[in-house]
């Protein structure tokens, strides 16, 4: 039996999951008619990697009120950030099994690769 304590465990980073709501969550007909670009400063104060923020800006849009929308099939790959953590945008339309057994596993693999680099 092992007598390891928390101080014996080396933390290499975390897989941080950020929820993403896609589709027409506002029930507005404008959702299909008028789409505006997401502002370039979107998520600029977040810890998300710049590449992931760029993907959000390129794939999403806003309505005239500034509400942000994403396609229902928008599920970016997990990304390793400069802070040593992996960020995963979890789309509410992505099957839970895919998130738990595929995307989270990919995020963990990125952490392991960063540890050995």
pLDDT in tens, the chain (117 residues): 455 555 655 667 999 999 988 877 766 665 556 889 999 999 999 999 999 999 999 999 998 888 898 999 999 999 999 999 999 999 999 999 998 899 999 999 999 888 876
8-state DSSP, 36: B
Rounded to whole angstroms, the Cα distance separating 8 from 10 reads 6
Any idea where the domains of the chain sit in the sequence?
A: 13-116
- Alpha helices by DSSP H, listed for the chain, are 30-33, 50-59, 96-98, 104-116
């Amino acid at each position: 039996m092992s007598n390891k304590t928390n101080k014996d465990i080396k933390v290499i980073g975390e897989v941080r999951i950020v929820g993403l709501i896609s589709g027409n969550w506002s029930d507005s007909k404008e959702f299909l008619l008028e789409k505006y670009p997401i502002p370039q400063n979107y998520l600029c104060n977040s810890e998300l990697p710049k590449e992931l923020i760029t993907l959000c800006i390129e794939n999403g849009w806003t309505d005239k009120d500034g509400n942000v929308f994403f396609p229902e099939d928008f599920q970016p790959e997990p990304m390793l950030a400069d802070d040593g953590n992996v960020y995963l945008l979890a789309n509410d339309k992505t099957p839970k099994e895919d998130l738990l057994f595929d995307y989270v596993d990919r995020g963990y693999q990125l952490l392991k690769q960063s540890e050995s680099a």
